[in-house]
Amino acid sequence: MSHSPSTIGAMKLRIHRGANEIGGSCVEVESAGERILIDAGMPLNFPLGASPKPFEVDSSTLCAIIISHAHLDHYGLLPWMPLVPVVMGGAGRRILQAAAPFMPQPPPNLSGPDLVNRQPIQIGPFSVTPFLVDHSAYDAYALLIEANGKRLFYSGDFRAHGRKHGLVDHLIASPPANIDALVLEGTTLGRMDSASIPSTEDDLDDELSRIFRTTGGLALIQASGQNIDRLVTIYRACLRTGRTMVVDLYTAMILEATGNPRIPQSDWNHMALCIPHRQRIQIKNNCWFEALRRHSSRRIYPKKHLAKNPGKYALIFRGLWMRDLERAECLDGACLVHSQWKGYLADPRFKDIDAWRQQRGMAFHQVHTSGHASPADLRRLATALSPKALIPIHSEFPERFDTIHSRVVRHADGEWWEV
Ligand SMILES: [Zn+2]
């Protein structure tokens, strides 16, 4: 049963959403009458462009909203939340700013202080220490929240088999001590068996290189334009096989927003910008000419380049590309690589793409590794932090947390509890 928090308890918490689902995470933490929200996510199956119902939060005592990382199921409700400072990583913030004009929902309020890896920041009565982690979103953090002598650790989304696994290995090797409560994600529980070892991004690089070598025509890769690790993997496979990675303006701007000089950019060798028709209209309507100019040093065109030499290119593909590629007649010998969670294959939007692919006799490949920690890595982190209580979040199977830790306490959505 849910009841109002008293102001006497040292630290109280309620999960607004996420106790038994993946996506739409939101956690409220209260101490000394003040509160913060951790994440304000959109449910994963929520129709894009529709107006969701925001969570009910006492905005007069809300100090800030902390966004652990720039995935829609963690920040997507921001446009409907109270206008308070939004605390998140600087690169994650720039990525959301770059992506906002391309998105159907209203632009979110994104002003507030940055999280900096392992630097505590004071927000009202809360001391928040962010730990940069490995995840499919760039600039993702786990959070240590301290107030009134209580210590809460929120894992956010993380994995330990990506390009930045060293960050999580380091956290596990020297974890923060005396954790009262660990709020731990469990996406893979029930999706991956407990003994399975996930592929690394380097494994995917090998697989993609093999596909690029054996495909005579254009390689279309359906990957998130915000999964920077994956874009790096695709770029590396391009370098190994002499292909050029083709991105649209959206992806070019996301790569730029990382601000990281080691991440491939639109003006690098073996990179090219190509604009699908629908995006050309968007650019014109919104006067994004300066952004287009900035990314056009290696601009190519479907008919002039892709159709002449399709085997030389690997294109980051979305549904809006279908008509352009068809018109350019560049699909002979092409293949489609689905480089996202295989659950998305059931989405009606993918069904359309798949029917289109089959009609053209294109080969299909599934090349992906999860953005989330395997059950074994979840156990490693839980064991290292050794919390007094482990509270499941971001999982369809909260009962399976018992297989990774002995002190699991399940709290339902909306229920207040004391840390
Ligand atoms: Zn995520």
From first to last of the 419 residues of the chain, give the pLDDT tens digit.
344 444 456 999 999 999 988 989 999 999 999 999 999 999 877 777 777 877 889 999 999 999 999 999 999 999 999 999 999 999 999 999 999 999 888 899 999 999 999 999 999 999 999 999 999 999 999 999 999 999 999 999 999 999 999 999 999 999 999 999 999 999 999 888 888 899 999 999 999 999 999 999 999 999 999 999 999 999 999 999 999 999 999 999 999 999 999 999 999 999 999 999 999 999 999 999 999 999 999 999 999 999 999 999 999 999 999 999 999 999 999 999 999 999 999 988 899 999 999 999 999 999 999 999 999 999 999 999 999 999 999 999 999 999 999 999 999 999 999 99
- 394 Cα to the center of ligand 1, angstroms: 10
Query: Of 8, 238, 38, which Cα lies nearest the Cα of 123?
Result: 38
In the chain, CATH 3.60.15.10 covers 12-193+371-418
Find the 108 Cα to ligand 1 centroid distance in Å: 18
What is the value of pTM for the model shown?
A: 0.93
What count of other Cβ atoms lies within 10 Å of the Cβ of residue 71? 26
User: How many angstroms does the Cα of residue 246 sit away from the middle of ligand 1?
Assistant: 25
Q: How close is the Cα of 287 to the center of ligand 1, in Å?
A: 32
CA of residue 71 to ligand 1 center, whole Å: 5
Q: How does DSSP classify residue 300?
A: -
Q: Where in the chain is the domain with CATH 3.40.50.10710?
A: 201-366
What's the CA-to-centroid distance between 96 and ligand 1, angstroms? Answer: 14
Please give the DSSP secondary-structure letter assigned to residue 23: B
Distance 137 CA to ligand 1 centre (A): 6
- SS3 string, 214-254, reads HCCCCEEEECCCCCHHHHHHHHHHHHHHCCEEEECHHHHHH
Task: Give ion ligand 1 contacts, CB < 5 A.
Answer: 71, 137, 157
What span, in angstroms and rounded, lies between the C-alpha atoms of 123 and 87? Answer: 9
* Three-state secondary structure call for residue 155: coil
**Amino acid identity for residue 270 in this structure:** H
State the distance from the centre of ligand 1 to the C-alpha of 281, rounded, in angstroms: 31
What is the distance in A from the centroid of ligand 1 to the CA of 236? 23
What are all long-range contacts of 230-235, with beta carbons under 8 Å and residues at least 24 apart? 230/136, 230/201, 230/204, 230/339, 231/255, 231/263, 231/264, 231/316, 232/163, 232/201, 232/263, 232/264, 233/201, 233/202, 233/204, 233/205, 233/208, 234/208, 234/314, 234/316, 234/339, 235/264, 235/270, 235/271
- At the fourth CATH level, the homologous superfamily of domain 12-193+371-418 is Ribonuclease Z/Hydroxyacylglutathione hydrolase-like (3.60.15.10)
- In the block, tokens 């359906």 appear at 222
Query: 75 CA distance to ligand 1 centroid (A)?
Result: 10
Q: What is the DSSP string of 158-226?
A: -BSSSTTHHHHHHHHHSPPS--SEEEEE-TTBTTB-TT--PPPHHHHHHHHHHHHHH--SPEEEE--TT
The correct answer on CATH 3.40.50.10710 for the domain covering 201-366 is: yes
